[in-house]
Amino acid sequence: MTGLLISVRSPWEAQLALGGGADLVDIKEPARGALGAADPTVWSAVLAAVAGRVPTSVALGEIRAACEPQDPRKLAGFQYAKLGLAGCRSWADWPQRWAERLLVLPAGVTPVAVIYADWRDAESPRPDDILRRAAEAHCGVALFDTFCKTRGNLLHHLEPPELARLTSAARDAGLRVVFGGGLGPETIGQVLSLNPDYVAVRGAACRTDRTGDVDAGLVRGLRQLISKSSCSGRPA
């Protein structure tokens, strides 16, 4: 069954996400971008709130803008970590730089390959190129996301046949698959036929927009939508 990933920015939001049935809690600061890194104090507070009840992931920002590698000890409690490639398309050696930056992750933290559907706007490497290089960076997951949150969702940038092709390529590379990128109740139903491992949500789980507060009732509705679709064997 497809799991529900909810991105949170505080321990209070983590509790709301868990109360609504989230299967994975992701930590990021949405005001800082698609993969905005929250402060390490937030990481530790959220990890304490989750207390191992579900897996956790952390956004580390974009490699081009990222500061010095994080202290591995601060990342040890996570199962997954994301470091984006926006702004790196012109770097001939982006695969090497990416792999080197991910080496800081401690054992047990799986790197996530972030594929931006709007890769041209993000000035990110092409999706196929990232998938081909994911193994070299020891990635175990492919996250299909959007860089700009005001110019359309995942399916606005990737037609369903192209998303299906890339999903197949990711699985051929041995990667688990996560769909994000501004998905809501209507679009989640459209992507579930591809059987992603997780659907990643922020905005549709918030009372206003992605910078608002997580609402446990909205999370619960998304969890029910996914469960209903999985039980029926077809998209909701």
Q: Which residues are catalytic?
A: 28, 82
Taking alpha carbons only, the member of 126, 67, 71, 116 closest to residue 94 is 126
Task: Report whether 43 contacts 58 (CB < 8 A).
Answer: yes
> What does the alpha-carbon distance between residue 183 and residue 186 come to, in Å, rounded to a whole number?
8
Residue 78 burial class via C-beta count within 10 angstroms: exposed 0-12, middle 13-18, buried 19 and up: buried
Cβ-contact 147, 121 below 8 angstroms: yes
Alpha-carbon distance 180 to 143, whole Å?
7
State both tokens at 153. Answer: 């969702």
